[in-house]
Amino acid sequence: MQVSHFLGSFTIPALYVFLLALVSCSSHGEDTASSNHKSIKENVHKLSPQMTSYIAIHGLLLWVSMGFLMPAGILFIRMANKEEGGRRVKVLFYLHAMLQILAVLLATIGAIMSIKNFENSFNNSHQRLGLALYGAIWMQALIGFFRPPRGNKRRSTWYLTHWILGTAVSLVGIINIYTGLNAYHKKTSRSTGIWTILFTAEVSFVAFFYLFQDKWEYIQKQGLILGNAPQPTPPSDQENATEQRDNQKVMLPEPCGKRNALRNLFD
């Protein structure tokens, strides 16, 4: 369990930062390559306003689902794992469950829109990753519902599987949002720079908050949060008098054992 806690504390935020850098470099490389060819507007297919709206709604649904609700649910369950018990643990657990269920429902609506309205040739990375994610999020939801009770032998295996799959779904979902923004730019020739910046800022904040809440208890123990450490109370006069009497009793000389033995022989 300590190994899982260590991996969860440092692996997920590190992967978030790595993926941000990777996607940014990839986008920069694609933009540089495209600048040497014809303008995007010459190659873009004419899209109706209704189709453009469908694409925007699809992207918004998946942004909220994969880019916000799922990471927020992970944060809540991490916070619950730090609690010893009580009502707060139940509240955080149910928040985790509700956010994940809502994320799955929104992603399913986005998938239905994609199947019904879009051309799904699966010849690009966005569609392929999306297809894999649709299956993975439902598998993760089913694994969450069939949770073994604590003390069961299968609990450790279930926990490891649920943690690995949930982390993978969240990370791949973030990658696919970036690829979706790039695909939207190619389809509509509209700039997605502001949306990329906003999403990057959101992911960075989630990663920072994940690390911060993970180290919050450690920060408190280090005394950086003023007012939490109990102040020592000075001893009262009665306690001082009692301590002095105890010290006097300790300092009283004890009779020598050899002298008492000689006295018993001659008496």
pLDDT in tens, 200-223: 999 999 999 888 887 777 777 776
Q: Are residues 116 and 243 in the same domain?
A: no
What pLDDT sits at residue 219? 77
Q: Are residues 181 and 245 in the same domain?
A: no
What pLDDT sits at residue 190? 87
pLDDT in tens, 114-129: 988 888 888 888 999 9
Q: Is the pLDDT of residue 267 over 80?
A: no
Q: How confident is the model at residue 244 (pLDDT cuts 50, 70, 90)?
A: low
Q: Is the pTM of this model over 0.75?
A: no
Which is higher by pLDDT, 194 or 43?
Answer: 194
Q: How confident is the model at residue 73 (pLDDT cuts 50, 70, 90)?
A: very high
**Separation of alpha carbons 185 and 177, rounded Å:** 12
In a domain, 228, yes or no: no
Burial 9-29 (b: 16+ CB within 10 A, else e): eeebbebbeebbeebeeebee
Which is higher by pLDDT, 98 or 23?
Answer: 98
Asked whether the beta carbons of 185 and 191 are under 8 A apart, the reply is yes
The whole domain housing 260 covers 237-266
What pLDDT sits at residue 8? 47
Eight-state DSSP code of residue 99: H
Q: Which amino acid is at 224?
A: L
User: In this structure, what CATH number is given to the domain that contains residue 11?
Assistant: 1.20.120.1770
What pLDDT sits at residue 16? 47
Average pLDDT over residues 177-184: 93
